[in-house]
Amino acid sequence: MSNTTHLGPVPQRITVDAEQVRRLVADQFPQWAGLPVRPVADGGWDNWTFHLGSEMSVRLPSAAEYALAVDKEHRWLPELAPRLPLPISTPLGKGEPGAGYPFSWSIYQWLDGEPAIADRIADPVQFAVDLAGFLAALQSVDTADGPRPGKHNWFRGGTLRTYDGEARRALATLDGHVDVDLAREIWKSALDARWDGVESWFHGDVAQGNLLLDDGKLAAVIDFGTCGVGDPSCDLAVAWTLLTADGRQAFRERLSVGEATWARGRGWVLWKTLVTCAHTVDKPTRRPRAHSASSAKSLPSTRPVAAPQRRWQRARRPVEASGRRLVLDVPRLEEALRLVARRHSGLRIYLLPDDCSGYPSSTASSTTAPP
């Protein structure tokens, strides 16, 4: 892929309400016209999501760029589903523009579960192994004719150099708040880590909101809007955003990840972290608005919270934002990052060593972010 890929402007998102969804369903799927429609809490960024009865959901892209994934999902998710060890959301019907809504949209089966927030995971190591097993199965699926990186998934599976401009702008913004020289060196190492060119399937947005738990165990994986075929290192970001140190090691071993791939995965999470932090500095109470939606879609809320600090969490230069503290500490180049993001009360970010034996307490109190 070219190093000069242009991500384009930020997508212009539109709003959708429940009444509009009712009209769409009634007009195009009359067999489900009588089912109640209500918004899904935290329904996502790329799509507006609504419950349709108790066993289905309606997903409507929030911008033209996100609508590019609809045909891909209908083409590939039914083929991927039987080859994977956990349930994934699969489409039941494809809708067309109507009722004032301009894009294609989908009806999906509803998968029960709760988001994989760290303190709800029963066994962090087993969770990491199960997640790695799912990704290994996904990577083993035949890639023939699969969707290569492009605008449909914001170039996930392609080169990290696509995001170099965003990363550099974020570093410029954060100069004086974090050790930008060290962050630049980590970023350069990720850019220089060569991919062997062996393509595989990837999810593209392995994050806590897309991983569902049942009784504390990984039960399903949802939202394949950024899936594709290419370099799967983007799926490794979860190693730093959700897994414990022991879980991260088990995750890496289960996937047999080499140094170069691990470095690229570290680059993915560094890019997201830098963009999040930069927008927290610029606009501390607003969701990050990146140069493109490539970074916005997977980022947590940017309302920081104060959190109790252990010795290894103490920031040399903490970022202050609206009276809340975003704790940043980058102690070593050779050991990457730890990103603990989006608890129910807001954003908590720590950049920590890869081999850190401590882990933020799942029951630690924190200051609640403003509504």
Q: Average pLDDT of the chain?
A: 80
pLDDT tens digits along 120-139: 999 999 999 999 999 999 99
- pLDDT tens digits, 8-65: 788 999 999 999 999 999 999 999 999 999 999 887 889 999 999 999 999 999 999 9
Residue 87: pLDDT over 50: yes
Measured in degrees and rounded to the nearest 5, phi and psi for residue 56 equal -140, 165
Mean pLDDT across 173-186: 87
d(CA 28, CA 99): 10
Q: Which fold would CATH assign to domain 18-112?
A: Phosphorylase Kinase; domain 1 (3.30.200)
d(CA 55, CA 68): 25
Largest CA distance in the chain: 60
Residue 340 has pLDDT above 60, yes or no: no
pLDDT score of 303: 25
C-alpha 174/C-alpha 230 separation (Å) is: 31
Tokens of residue 198, six digits: 């062996």
**Mean of the pLDDT values across residues 177-206?**
93
Q: Which residues pair with 220 in a beta bridge?
A: 212
| Per-residue model confidence (pLDDT) at position 284 | 55
pLDDT in tens, 294-316: 544 544 332 222 223 332 223 33
Mean predicted confidence (pLDDT) in 100-108 = 98
CA–CA gap between residue 178 and residue 181 (Å, rounded):
9
- List beta partners, residue 326: 319
Domain ranges of the chain: 18-112, 115-284
Share of the chain above pLDDT 70, in %: 74
Higher pLDDT, 74 or 365: 74
The token pair that represents 273 in the structure block: 């972290």
Q: Is residue 214 scored above 80 in pLDDT? A: yes
Cα torsion angle, 240, 242, 245, 247, sign: negative
Q: What share of the chain is helix, strand, coil (3-state, %, to 5)?
A: 35, 15, 45
Euclidean distance between the first and final Cα of the chain, in Å?
Answer: 42
Range in 29-43, 167-181, 214-228, 295-309 the model is least confident about: 295-309
Query: In this structure, what token pair is assigned to residue 292?
Result: 């493109």
In three-state secondary structure terms, 135 is helix
* Residue 91 near residue 73, CB atoms below 8 Å: yes
Fold (topology level) of 115-284: Aminoglycoside 3'-phosphotransferase; Chain: A, domain 2 (3.90.1200)
Residue-level pLDDT at 19: 98
Residue 288 pLDDT > 80, yes or no?
no
Check residue 326 and give its pLDDT: 36
Q: What is the pLDDT of residue 5?
A: 64
In this prediction, residue 347 carries a pLDDT of 34
